[in-house]
Structure 1
């Protein structure tokens, strides 16, 4: 038997599942309308009469339960049949929640085609019967209106009021609005006022006031939307920023749909606004993190490149050991900084990492308060300490059991002073030339950190004094990817 086709809305974020539902339901001979998200489903409902809604429970941004709650809040859709379908939420509690949200049935996965077709067919037929009754009632109302002008007036006002109601009910960070294109009247719901940070008791909704709340760089979006609706566009979506009266900037995404009259002229525009500020901030944090990782990786690679290029040794084995030692020192401080989320490093931890191989027999003494170093200073001092420990182990106090090493430091007037004092080791003579370790230490401490390094080659043992500022930002951080130490080491080796 021929009958008028009804619209069945299929809502799922997975195209493969939507295709499967179409194949299962095509034999019913109804109009199948597709929506790949909750927001798209709301837009369809703005413009299309729907008999049955088949909606997936698990969807990003707006899941099936939230969508059902929003739809049920509107009087126009309180009796629209909604069937939930889900692959995971099949417990009695989940089914009960689905019914509480307005579902008339609940279909688990895997879907049995015959069962799904039967359920959709029942509700489609019920919708058709209901529409037939509505049409009969409409005819009756038309007859009454023909006899009673007052009743006709009242009914028209009720219809207009119904059309003005927003399709998007305030739920979470969503709001809805309605704009009469002819009279210029606006209507906002509670969610819209909340997003813009204003109240209906003090804020008059009109184009001038709305524009005043838009970010100056995004005002053109409003003008563009108006121009497109005037040129025939029926739906529009864009991201924009608002500036609340308290100065807070919020990111939003707006979706709008136009209502036209019989002549094709726009008479009303309705829309939904969603606050996406948290998502935008998360994206900004991700981008900042990516840039920071890139910057630090380039700095670390530049330091490693300088170490490999400028290290000198008498043989291949000595060269490999020297390079590995310096790169391992850089890796150790990198680990310490990573554990602090690159907020800084304690000087005592840097020293502990470097002295670990030489701490047997109580040859080393430490004295100093807890001092927090910024990342760039920590990296440079770690390499400097590595050179001092390496030289001492080869030629100085740590090369014999009788040798002693005292490391003391203090922080005063925003300046760190570290004293390295060796004793009891082999007889010390002032070197005729500076090795790579000494040259790199001087270059990094003096040129990169703006500090000072002093060496006193006493006969009883080396006395080294390092002074560095604690808060001065090293020059290497001013140009991402470039490390001044490399240039200093190059000049020092010449």
Structure 2
């Protein structure tokens, strides 16, 4: 099935350069939209959904920086990817200014066609995936709303049915009561006592004793009902909470009807109480699920955007492979977590997923107990393991058939210690500087999880030791905190 094309906006005041960009990007198969000035670009944005904006920094009347600032001010375009093209030498201050204005990347002139195509392709795909996640989220919200509507309709039917029933209900989660408005006498059936968590032998039904069992925030409902009946109201219905003697809070819906004498004066009020606690809890779980799905979708996008922005490579193919590898690692751990309803993931399962392409000829040995990881810990460790496996396959023990890799782990005092030991591969030299993979691994383990990462570049092979806390209290950066804390740490790691 052909994927839907996205719109890419090309902004430059020179027709020749616009033509060149069209020729370079034609093979992507996307819709290319042309604008010869900043103002024309703004008009296009207001009429068209744009996935990526390619804009020249130096333009008359409205330059690229000013255009980016105006675009970011509009709520619709606050997350639209913008790539700046500059024909002059861009200083660090200019780059910083551009990133502050919302640019996601710079492309110098002369433009390398392959690089430009690769960058545009990555952000176009990210836009497509973002829209797909939004669509799935909307579908889930629609299902939740439909389910809620079904529950509300079911409740309405239940209320109608109960109004037609006899006031003497003595079964299930329903109870009936009768209040002599003149004498003040009360009558409760067995179901009413059961709902309130009291017994006929120990509980005397009086206005004061009943009010004592109502939730403090709902006492006014009783006063309002009495006032309504005094005004001539014949029926009244409301939802309220009770606090049982053991402290348990229950949700109820109460329906009351008044009996009048010939003069129109209230002489008796009878009613039915239905315990709807389970329905309320089900609605809360559904609302929580909807919020959680929305939250995790945004979180995944924030992590993917950080990977795309911070990955570095000397050539296009290496850049694409690095981005795809890291995003695939993230996708694999998300699949594992989804199978457990985001309760956690087994460490051995994460390792199996990452080592699958490399387990040839018994080169890899594993040793360790079963360990259940929290979702945030599992995500971070999955990306860390991906960096270690990738580095080993390129330069370390897994780059040769003679190489060996031993991975062991143990748990002590709610702290996981994982050792990575390579041997038999190419001669190892201590690197003069740390690459992005190593720096991001350190940032994620130490800053996100509050753990430690140690590297020993031995001549016979890399020895790496990772220590991370396993308790929820220690692993404070749960899934909801990556997009702020985690992205910031990776930004610093990228140098």
- TM-score w.r.t. the length of structure 1 is 0.64
Relative distance call for 1:166 and 1:62 in structure 2 (3 A) is farther
- Indicate if the aligned counterparts of 1:145 and 1:152 stay in contact, CA closer than 8 A: no
SS at match of 1:82: strand
Q: CA deviation at 1:200?
A: 2.0
- Indicate if the aligned counterparts of 1:449 and 1:472 stay in contact, CA closer than 8 A: no
The C-alpha deviation readout for 1:180-231, integer Å capped at 9, x for no partner, is: 1121111112211221122222222110111111111111110011111112
Q: CA deviation at 1:29?
A: 71
Residues in 2 aligned to 1:141 and 1:429: alpha-carbon distance in whole angstroms: 54
The C-alpha deviation readout for 1:71-122, integer Å capped at 9, x for no partner, is: 9999999999999999999999999999999999999999999999999999
- Indicate if the aligned counterparts of 1:28 and 1:117 stay in contact, CA closer than 8 A: yes
SS at match of 2:369: coil
Residues in 1 aligned to 2:196 and 2:336: alpha-carbon distance in whole angstroms: 44
SS at match of 1:205: coil
Relative distance call for 1:401 and 1:209 in structure 2 (3 A) is same
Residues in 1 aligned to 2:360 and 2:252: alpha-carbon distance in whole angstroms: 63
Residues in 1 aligned to 2:261 and 2:36: alpha-carbon distance in whole angstroms: 28
Q: CA deviation at 1:20?
A: 69
SS at match of 2:313: coil
Relative distance call for 1:227 and 1:350 in structure 2 (3 A) is same
The C-alpha deviation readout for 1:143-175, integer Å capped at 9, x for no partner, is: 999999999999999999999996242232111
Between 222-231 and 478-487, the greater mean CA deviation after superposition = 478-487
- Indicate if the aligned counterparts of 1:73 and 1:169 stay in contact, CA closer than 8 A: no
Relative distance call for 1:227 and 1:127 in structure 2 (3 A) is farther
- Indicate if the aligned counterparts of 2:130 and 2:301 stay in contact, CA closer than 8 A: no
Match of 1:478 in 2: 477
Residues in 2 aligned to 1:319 and 1:114: alpha-carbon distance in whole angstroms: 11
The C-alpha deviation readout for 1:244-264, integer Å capped at 9, x for no partner, is: 222221111000111112222
Residues in 2 aligned to 1:174 and 1:491: alpha-carbon distance in whole angstroms: 61
Structure 2 gap segments, 5+ residues each: none
Q: CA deviation at 1:442?
A: 0.4
Match of 2:339 in 1: 339
SS at match of 2:258: strand
SS at match of 1:478: coil
Relative distance call for 1:390 and 1:42 in structure 2 (3 A) is closer
Between 357-366 and 156-165, the greater mean CA deviation after superposition = 156-165
The C-alpha deviation readout for 1:8-58, integer Å capped at 9, x for no partner, is: 999999999999999999999999999999999999999999999999999
Q: CA deviation at 1:60?
A: 67
Relative distance call for 1:130 and 1:201 in structure 2 (3 A) is farther
Between 361-370 and 75-84, the greater mean CA deviation after superposition = 75-84
Instruction: Count how many residue pairs are aligned between Structure 1 and Structure 2.
Output: 493
Relative distance call for 1:151 and 1:426 in structure 2 (3 A) is closer
Residues in 2 aligned to 1:194 and 1:457: alpha-carbon distance in whole angstroms: 70
Relative distance call for 1:68 and 1:300 in structure 2 (3 A) is closer
Between 21-30 and 357-366, the greater mean CA deviation after superposition = 21-30
Residues in 1 aligned to 2:128 and 2:487: alpha-carbon distance in whole angstroms: 80
Q: CA deviation at 1:179?
A: 1.2
SS at match of 2:481: coil
Match of 2:20 in 1: 20
SS at match of 2:393: helix
- Indicate if the aligned counterparts of 1:5 and 1:29 stay in contact, CA closer than 8 A: yes
SS at match of 2:168: coil
Q: CA deviation at 1:61?
A: 67
Match of 2:291 in 1: 291
- Indicate if the aligned counterparts of 1:42 and 1:168 stay in contact, CA closer than 8 A: no
- Indicate if the aligned counterparts of 1:393 and 1:399 stay in contact, CA closer than 8 A: yes
SS at match of 1:477: coil
Relative distance call for 1:75 and 1:120 in structure 2 (3 A) is same
Residues in 1 aligned to 2:457 and 2:147: alpha-carbon distance in whole angstroms: 116
Relative distance call for 1:318 and 1:477 in structure 2 (3 A) is same
Q: CA deviation at 1:270?
A: 1.1
Residues in 2 aligned to 1:140 and 1:463: alpha-carbon distance in whole angstroms: 46
Relative distance call for 1:482 and 1:246 in structure 2 (3 A) is closer
Structure 1 or 2, whichever has the larger Rg, is 1
Match of 1:425 in 2: 425
Relative distance call for 1:50 and 1:236 in structure 2 (3 A) is farther
- Indicate if the aligned counterparts of 1:43 and 1:257 stay in contact, CA closer than 8 A: no
The C-alpha deviation readout for 1:306-341, integer Å capped at 9, x for no partner, is: 111111112222222111111111111122222222
- Indicate if the aligned counterparts of 2:376 and 2:479 stay in contact, CA closer than 8 A: no
- TM-score w.r.t. the length of structure 2 is 0.64
Relative distance call for 1:200 and 1:355 in structure 2 (3 A) is same
Relative distance call for 1:97 and 1:373 in structure 2 (3 A) is closer
Q: CA deviation at 1:486?
A: 0.9
Residues in 1 aligned to 2:31 and 2:98: alpha-carbon distance in whole angstroms: 25
Structure 1 gap segments, 5+ residues each: none
SS at match of 2:103: coil
Residues in 1 aligned to 2:125 and 2:350: alpha-carbon distance in whole angstroms: 77
Between 340-349 and 276-285, the greater mean CA deviation after superposition = 340-349
The C-alpha deviation readout for 1:435-480, integer Å capped at 9, x for no partner, is: 111111000011111111111122222111111122154x885687
Relative distance call for 1:100 and 1:202 in structure 2 (3 A) is farther
- Indicate if the aligned counterparts of 2:133 and 2:297 stay in contact, CA closer than 8 A: no
- Indicate if the aligned counterparts of 1:174 and 1:272 stay in contact, CA closer than 8 A: yes
Q: CA deviation at 1:300?
A: 2.2
- Indicate if the aligned counterparts of 1:6 and 1:51 stay in contact, CA closer than 8 A: yes
